[in-house]
Amino acid sequence: MGIYDLTIEELSEYFLQNNDKKFYATELFSWLYNKKITSFDEASNIKKEVRDRLKKDFIISNIDIITVEEGRDVKKYLFKLSDFEHIEAVLMNHDYGNSLCISSQVGCNMGCKFCESGRRKKVRNLTTGEMVEQILKVENESGLRISHVVIMGIGEPFDNYDNICKLIKIINHSKGLNIGARHITVSTCGIVPKILEFSDFPYQVNLAISLHAPNDYIRNKIMPISKAYPLDELISSIKIYLGKTNRRVTFEYIMLDDVNDSVDNAIELVRLLRGINCYVNLIPYNETDALQYRRSKPLTIAKFYDILKENNVTVTIRREFGGTISAACGQLRSKREEI
């Protein structure tokens, strides 16, 4: 088992079961996440025999950076996992801090038609530790502190629900990476039962929904998940989530040329979101060679934006980071595997 798979409570339990002092958990957390040790022997205030047992029971590192591509204010990392699978993470430097977009699975089963990641079926879930380590390895390589984490890389986080919840507990913990819950965002394509379950998760993290269409007709064409959970069910679950958490949700909306970007689509979207505490993030599509979709024209995006704004929907157009370095979801991994 990987040491980064454990919450501080689980680690306390481990030490108790071995008749060690429970507070070793706090100490070890601070060695791992604050001093960022790479071998248990560096944890000098923990007894040698305990360190030896830790070495026997846990692996420290399970993932390695194999390439880094750099663009303006952005770096994209390709990692190799211990079973030789590949995943990616993207670091973005904002004026408010450094945000890391991490992967949650190897491959993805959601099959969104415009998405590069979905071209490869899910191979497996990432462990909690493999997700934590993406952050640690990037902090180490870049020399920067990651202040924001978005779970928007390869994979569907709500198809790896338990590990995502553990990840949040570990990185949010004051002795862990101490990343504020409000600085953590989980993005889902809309798995309704998990949205409902997440509404009881007691951390004030952000929820983003990949909406991408204002009606089921368009959504069914581009997002197969919509057949399992149609828009009315999705919107009802979001209302329940809002009722319980009182936390504004984000709707992501990729602008796809001639697919979902007409004036009528904008008006329909306004109607769909009426009365929901949300904001809409319009995303210029990042084109990828293997797929036929094209990004909407700048004027079309501007018009769509204006219609939402005029109708009092809070809306932003996503700042672009990774265009030149294949930073769209799954692109770097595909490039590598095609080579």
- Answer yes or no whether residue 252 interacts with ligand SAH by CB under 6 A: yes
Span of 38-46, 174-182, 285-293, 308-316 interacting with ligand SAH by CB under 6 A: 285-293
Among 8, 46, 102, 115, contact with ligand SAH (rule: CB under 6 A): 115
- Residue of the chain from 265, 286, 326, 334 that contacts ligand SAH (CB under 6 A): 286
Q: How far is the CB of 159 from ligand SAH (least distance, A)?
A: 8
Which of 131, 156, 237, 321 binds ligand SAH (CB under 6 A)? It is 156
- State in angstroms the smallest separation of the CB of 275 from ligand SAH: 23
For ligand SAH, the closer CB: 8 or 151: 151
- Position 210 contacts ligand SAH (CB under 6 A): yes
Does 188 bind ligand SAH (CB under 6 A)? Our answer is: yes
Q: How far is the CB of 308 from ligand SAH (least distance, A)?
A: 17
Our finding on whether 187 is near ligand SAH (CB under 6 A) is yes
What are the phi and psi torsion angles at 18 (to 5°)? -95, 15
Q: Which of 69, 88, 116, 130 is catalytic?
A: 88
| Least distance (Å) between residue 94 CB and ligand SAH | 17
Cβ proximity to ligand SAH, 43 vs 211, nearer residue: 211
Query: Under rule CB under 6 A, how many of the chain's residues touch ligand SAH?
Result: 18
From the list 55-63, 66-74, 138-146, 282-290, the region that binds ligand SAH by CB under 6 A is 282-290
Catalytic (active site) residue 88: yes
Residue ranges binding ligand SAH (CB under 6 A): 110, 112, 114-115, 152, 156, 187-189, 210, 252, 254, 283, 285-286, 288, 328-329
